[in-house]
Amino acid sequence: MGKLAVLKSCFYPGEAHIIKSYMDSHDIPCEVFDHNVGSYLPSNLTGGIRVMVLEKDLQQALELLSEIDETSDP
């Protein structure tokens, strides 16, 4: 397995898992780290819930993430 890179840091676990599902649906392996940290004391969450992908997939994942952001604007 290659090196991991942070795709996005999220405040809410649900947001991180939606992004993971979207990446998985586009055949980009993705993992969510630190998702339990914020469930007890969100104010103590320092680095956020990290959505991680392989470094080699980061550029494609960022492009997919920007598509989500574009479609969610009001």
The answer to whether 30 and 20 have CB atoms below 8 angstroms apart is yes
d(CA 55, CA 5): 5
Supply angle C-alpha 10, 13, 15, rounded to 5: 60
Arch. (CATH architecture) of 4-72 = 2-Layer Sandwich (3.30)
The reported pLDDT for the residue numbered 43 is 44
Q: Write out pLDDT tens, residues 6-30.
A: 999 988 889 999 999 999 999 999 9
Tokens of 65: 């993430």
Q: Write out pLDDT tens, residues 32-61.
A: 998 665 555 554 456 689 999 999 999 999
- Entry pTM: 0.79
